[in-house]
């Protein structure tokens, strides 16, 4: 398929490059680091070779979210966003941007989101999971009450918010002890992000802000397969729900969430996601440079879905969601 658009596609600046050093084997660090730093050379060649018209670029992980000092996090976010805006300006026909945000301070994050959307022309934000605030052990999730104004502004700006994974902090990772292979994309990324997404659903956030748009990668971090059970639990027991949200969580999943194919190139998983939330809410992505563009594109172009669904997932859903002028 020609004209695909991807929206979980990462880059790094020199100050955040080492944040990605532990995700893959040391033997491929030279390759991965060169992929992260490059934007206009190999990345574009790979896109051209595999029918990818555009990438919406985002900073690597955890980057801003792991900078405990809120002011330092804000400074780094501004630096990364300014750099990204410069790169997008060189080829706006091929690249657009997601804002990196200093979620350690909701007021600063709100100001930076406004700047990126209104002044830099970004298409939303991508945030790398929870933020560490003032102390590495102080972890904050975005269902907390101090984020109420941030979410109001996010809805007012019609800014899609991509909730991207990061690993749990070491003191919370005992279940992975002795099994480091379970960290990252194998399991910990999905588990951590799914729980964060469920917390947002259960908090009542989408009752207050029904037009909010949250994006999850990797075909939903396992939630399409599990969301029914999350709501049903022991369905024969008539106990009251223990969270503020007014609806079943599956309803928010279907109405406020979008999923991408980033790093999950499996037809059975795609069809499960389509059955759960519909093809109008699924979008193509590759997860470059951590995954290969050719692996994503060759699979997607031949996967057994209808031509209409392939066009929506590969292209037109992104055009509609991000109001792209193509």
Sheet holding 161-163, edge to edge: 125-127, 161-163, 214-216, 257-260, 282-283
Which residue, 54, 71, 76, 68, is CA-closest to 5?
A: 54
197 preceded by a cis bond (ω within 30 of 0):
no
CA 20 to chain centre: 16
Q: Which residues are CB-neighbours of 56 under 8 A, at least 6 positions away?
A: 5, 6, 7, 9, 95, 96, 97, 98, 123, 124, 318, 322
Nearest residue to 163 (alpha-carbon basis) of 253, 70, 290: 253
Alpha-carbon torsion, ordered 31, 37, 39, 45, to 10 deg = -10
Q: Which two structure tokens, joined as six digits, stand for 256?
A: 């406020």
Strands 95-97 and 52-59: parallel
Give the tokens for residue 251. 């309803």
Length of the chain: 326
Closest CA to 67 of 139, 11, 134, 20: 134
SS3 13: coil
Q: Which residues does the annotation mark as catalytic?
A: 287
Half-sphere exposure of 282 (CA within 13 A, CB side): 26
């Amino acid at each position: 398929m020609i004209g695909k658009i991807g929206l979980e596609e990462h880059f790094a600046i020199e100050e955040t490059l080492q944040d990605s050093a532990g995700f893959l084997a040391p033997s491929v660090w030279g390759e991965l680091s060169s992929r992260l730093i490059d934007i206009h050379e190999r990345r574009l060649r790979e896109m051209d070779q595999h029918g990818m018209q555009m990438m919406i670029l985002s900073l690597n992980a955890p980057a801003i979210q792991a900078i405990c000092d809120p002011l330092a996090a804000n400074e780094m976010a501004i630096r990364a966003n300014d750099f990204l805006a410069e790169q997008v300006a060189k080829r706006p026909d091929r690249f657009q941007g997601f804002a990196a945000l200093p979620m350690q301070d909701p007021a600063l994050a709100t100001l930076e989101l406004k700047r990126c959307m209104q002044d830099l022309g970004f298409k939303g934000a991508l945030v790398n999971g929870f933020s560490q605030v003032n102390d590495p052990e102080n972890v904050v999730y975005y269902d907390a009450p101090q984020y109420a104004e941030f979410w109001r502004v996010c809805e007012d700006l019609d800014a899609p918010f991509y909730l991207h994974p990061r690993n749990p902090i070491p003191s919370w990772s005992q279940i992975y002890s002795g099994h480091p292979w379970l960290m990252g994309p194998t399991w910990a990324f999905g588990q951590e992000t799914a729980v964060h997404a469920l917390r947002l659903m259960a908090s009542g956030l989408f009752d207050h802000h029904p037009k909010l748009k949250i994006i999850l990668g990797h075909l939903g971090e396992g939630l399409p397969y599990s969301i029914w059970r999350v709501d049903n639990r022991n369905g024969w027991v008539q106990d009251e729900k223990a969270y503020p949200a007014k609806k079943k969580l599956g309803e928010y999943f279907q109405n406020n969430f979008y999923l991408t194919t980033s790093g999950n190139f499996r037809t059975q998983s795609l069809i499960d996601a389509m059955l759960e939330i519909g093809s109008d809410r699924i979008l193509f992505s590759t997860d470059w440079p951590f995954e290969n563009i050719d692996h994503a594109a060759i699979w997607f172009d031949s996967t057994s879905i209808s031509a209409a669904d392939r066009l929506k997932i590969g292209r037109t859903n992104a055009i509609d969601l991000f109001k792209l002028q193509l």
